Amino acid sequence: MTNLFLMTRSEENYIKTIFHLGGSDSVPVATNAIAEQMETKPSSVTDMAKKLADKGLVHYKKYQGVSLTEIGIKTALSIIRKHRLWEVFLVKKLDFTWDEVHEVAEQLEHIKSEKLIDKIDELLDFPKYDPHGDPIPSKDGKFMVRDKELLSDLEVKAGGVCVGVKDTSAPFLKFLDKNGIALGKTIEVLEKEDFDQSLHIKIDQSELHISHQIASNLYVKKNN
């Protein structure tokens, strides 16, 4: 049980990536998938897989992919908790916009201080979701899985509240801002174009036409 506090930044980033690609299940993740996600080379992933396996954070057998151990999952959740809490902090306390927070949170998530992150959590009044609608794991690694669906999967006439984004890239988020789409807004599907799957929607008071591209990156919590 190698101490989590002496993990390097690189190791933490690998663990986080493996979690995001494989979920908390012990689904093995392919070397190439990790390499692509981390913008590194497969051979580097293999090296790290061995090291993380030695440390007991992942299961690894040659050619069989990588999956997180119990400890690996806990570690991943702890890093993700920090990342998302910092994102909330930046938005709520420092007036960052939701398209600016990710880059800084990528750095802040590696700060080693349990007290620090717990105090940030308290300062923010224990938020459950980050600025992109993603759930924040609690100290003991639990988090809410909100039932939500992609706007593109709703039927005509169906509606709900916008609760998250799938694509969290700055360009997409800025596009949403420009079109008055934000978390918490009420959305209703007015019309669906069969040809290109584009949608005519009502968002709060106004109406808007959006492409399938957009609709398939917006999460909605359906009305009862």
Partner DNA sequence: ACAAATTTTTAGATTTGCCTAAATTTATTT
Partner DNA sequence: AAATAAATTTAGGCAAATCTAAAAATTTGT
Choosing from 109, 132, 162, 176, the residue that interacts with Mn ion (CB under 5 A) is 132
Find the angle CA(215)-CA(221)-CA(222) to the nearest 5 degrees.
Answer: 95
DSSP output for 107-120: HHTT---HHHHHHH
Structure tokens belonging to residue 60: 């690894």
How would you class 2 by CB atoms within 10 Å of its CB: exposed for 0-12, middle for 13-18, buried for 19 or more? middle
Q: Is 120 in the site for a copy of itself (CB under 8 A)?
A: yes
Helix (H, G, I), strand (E, B) or coil at 13: helix
- Of a copy of itself, Mn ion, DNA, none, which one does residue 89 interact with (CB within 5 to 8 Å by kind)? none
Nearer to DNA, 10 or 24 (CB): 10
Nearer to a copy of itself, 109 or 188 (CB): 109
Q: Which residues bind DNA (CB under 7 A)?
A: 8-11, 30-33, 39-51, 60, 62-65
Nearer to a copy of itself, 95 or 125 (CB): 95
- Of Mn ion, DNA, a copy of itself, none, which one does residue 11 interact with (CB within 5 to 8 Å by kind)? DNA
Nearer to a copy of itself, 119 or 139 (CB): 119
Q: How far is CA 9 from CA 13, 40, 109, in A?
A: 6, 15, 9
Residues 62-101 binding a copy of itself (CB under 8 A) are 90, 93-96, 100
Choosing from 77, 108, 154, 162, the residue that interacts with a copy of itself (CB under 8 A) is 108
Residues 134-193 binding Mn ion (CB under 5 A) are 134
Nearer to DNA, 33 or 170 (CB): 33
Q: Is 4 in the site for a copy of itself (CB under 8 A)?
A: no
Q: How far is CA 186 from CA 35, 98, 120, in A?
A: 39, 19, 30
* Angle in degrees, 0-180, between the axes of helices 70-94 and 101-108, rounded to the nearest 10: 130
What is the CB neighbour count within 10 angstroms for residue 3? 7
Residues 18-47 binding a copy of itself (CB under 8 A) are none
Separation of alpha carbons 122 and 217, rounded Å:
31
Residue with tokens 């420092």: 94
Separation of alpha carbons 101 and 7, rounded Å:
24
Choosing from 23, 41, 116, 126, the residue that interacts with a copy of itself (CB under 8 A) is 116
Residues that bind Mn ion (CB under 5 A): 87, 102, 130, 132, 134
Interface with a copy of itself (CB under 8 A): 90, 93-96, 100, 103-104, 107-108, 111-113, 115-116, 119-120, 123
